[in-house]
Amino acid sequence: MPSPLAIGLVAHDDKKAALVAWAEAHQAFLKDKALFATGTTGGRILQALPKLNLTRLKSGPLGGDQQLGAMIAEGRLDVLIFFVDPLSPQPHDVDVKALIRMATLADIPFACNPATADLIVSSAS
């Protein structure tokens, strides 16, 4: 039996509510996937959807972004959904850029907003 699709979930502070809403709208798709999320984002998703198979990593600024990047580099993450806030400065911007670079280099599907995440779900279903 093939392993479930591994999906990374992360969102900047002002986009966490949007990612939780997106996850709620797509819980049927997410329920049988292996989900990995940075600490705060993962906590918010699990609060709304406690039955998901979600592993919480460290908070993004404390290494969670780098953990997701390492998973991509090791071929252990199939999709990255990262709701980015382009209007707020991020104190750990270097980590964010490194994560985006890893997703691009590994050529995995990468969604930075709900519209793109919806396309990934519809193409994978």
Active site residues per annotation: 65
Judging by DSSP bridges, how do beta strands 6-11 and 79-83 pair with one another?
parallel
> Closest by alpha carbon to 77, among 36, 118, 43?
36
Distances (CA, A) of 35 to 3, 4, 30, 91, 98: 12, 9, 8, 25, 20
The whole-angstrom separation of Cα 88 and Cα 13 is: 9
**Which has the closest alpha carbon to 10: 37, 31, 35?**
37
Rounded CA separation 10/72 (Å): 14
